[in-house]
Amino acid sequence: MRLGRAAAVGVGAAGGGALYLLERAAAARWRVGAEELVAAGLALPPDIRHHFVSTSDGGRVHAVERGAGPTTVLVHGIMLGVAAWARQLHTLPGRVIAVSQRGHGQSCAGADGFSFDRLAADLSEVLEVLDVRDAALVGHSMGGMIAQLLALSDPDLSRRVRELVLVATAPGPIVPSPLSGLSGLLGAAAVGALAGAERSGRGPLPRSATRWAARMAFGVSPSPPDLELLRQMLDAMSPRALAALVPHLVSFDVRGRLGALSLPVHVVAGSSDVLTPPHTARAIVERVPRARLTLLAGCGHMVMLERPDALRVLLTR
């Protein structure tokens, strides 16, 4: 019995050592500096204009803008930020606006907290204040969920938006229904852990977990600069804000309402996305009367980083 336990301990130690070495090797391979991020087109353009929009509940939303003419509005996913759209801010023609959702970057929550309905109201108020008209509204991941909610809650959105482009997103829970009860428990556990991280001044994830979470978000052969940019965004997320958003992310579901969408909808998904797999994109297309689907082979969840040229072509047709 003692030998068995000793062997188990030895195997566990060896496994832990192997994982440590693997993590260190991955960290060295993925590590890049600021100059490499700039060379890869992942620094924000120097001529962007900054806006700080005061929300009706006392919050603040930061948005960056570049160019003039036909408008594209970009809304990021959870734990990301306007930097995720750096390549689009460099290359998309016309007026390009990237919105930082509350709890991310320089955007702060007001009295209403972090409900998805409140995030949709933030987006509506930004469109109003910046006098956006005839725009393509592009929502990635959680940003796509917010864009769906806004389109469903504002019958007059067509005054400002001509098309929804929903990128790597879902119309309902991304956890399979047999596990929905478990997802609630996991969500509650995550909230507790994140609150502890906020109190201790840590980021939302351990450093090694952040690296692997970044890798999981990509499809085939991501570049080290793309991985590093995502790692930085994940690490910068406020644990408190993330804890407040998790329950709404877990409970989001507009599947029964999508038939009421009247705007044209273009759904873009990666065939290798493990966070919002292609079947979640098809679930939108099947329910929206004027929807079409583009599936990008080998692409993961971070479409704007992995396939910037393909996304630019889709947005400028």
Residue-wise pLDDT for 103-129, tens only, equals: 999 999 999 999 999 999 999 999 999
Geometric angle at alpha carbon 214, from 244 and 73, rounded to 5°: 65
Residue 76, pLDDT above cutoff 90: yes
The predicted-structure confidence for 136-168, as pLDDT tens digits, reads as follows 999 999 999 999 999 999 999 999 999 999 999
Supply the pTM of this predicted model: 0.86
Give the CA distances from residue 88 to residues 162, 313, 314, in Å, rounded to whole numbers and listed in that order: 19, 11, 12
Please state which of the ranges 202-211, 238-247, 261-270, 280-289 shows the lowest mean pLDDT: 202-211
Q: Say if residues 224 and 36 touch (Cβ distance below 8 Å).
A: yes
Amino acid, res. 155: P
The sheet with strand 60-66 has its strands ordered as 49-54, 60-66, 95-100, 71-75, 135-140, 161-167, 265-270, 291-296
Reference 257, options 300, 234, 288; nearest CA is 288
214 against 8, higher pLDDT: 214
Distance of CA 185 to the CA centre of its chain: 23
Phi and psi based region of residue 49 (left: phi greater than 0; alpha: psi -120 to 50; beta: remaining) = beta
Predicted pLDDT of residue 208: 77
pLDDT band at 227 (very low <50, low <70, confident <90, very high): very high
* % the chain with pLDDT above 90: 73
74: pLDDT strictly greater than 50: yes
pLDDT at 21 over 50: no
Say whether pLDDT at 268 is over 60: yes
Q: Using alpha carbons only, how large is the chain's radius of gyration in Å?
A: 20
Better pLDDT: 199 or 299: 299
Task: Label residues 182-216 b or e (16+ Cβ within 10 Å = b).
Answer: ebeeebeebbeebeebbeeeebbbeeeebbebbee
Q: Which of 277, 313, 267 is nearest to 139 (CA)?
A: 267
**Cα angle: 133, vertex 261, 151; to 5 degrees:** 45
Residue 209 CA to residue 214 CA, distance in Å, equals 8
Find the DSSP H helices in 98-141. 116-129
Residues 6+ apart with CB under 8 A from 26: 211, 212, 215
CA dihedral for 75, 241, 79, 108, sign (positive or negative)? positive
Would the pLDDT of 287 be above 80? yes
> What gap in Å lies between CA 170 and CA 188, rounded to an integer?
21
Give the model's pLDDT for residue 178. Answer: 43
pLDDT band per the 50, 70, 90 thresholds, residue 32: confident
Look at residue 102 and tell me whether its pLDDT is greater than 50: yes
Asked if 81 and 106 count as a contact pair (C-beta separation under 8 A), the reply is: no
Average pLDDT, the chain: 87
The Cα–Cα gap between 305 and 303 comes to 5
79-90 in b/e form (b: 16+ CB < 10 A) is: bbbbbbbbbbbb
Average pLDDT over residues 54-77: 98
**Rounded to whole angstroms, how far apart are CA atoms 14 and 28?**
21
3-state secondary structure of 260: helix
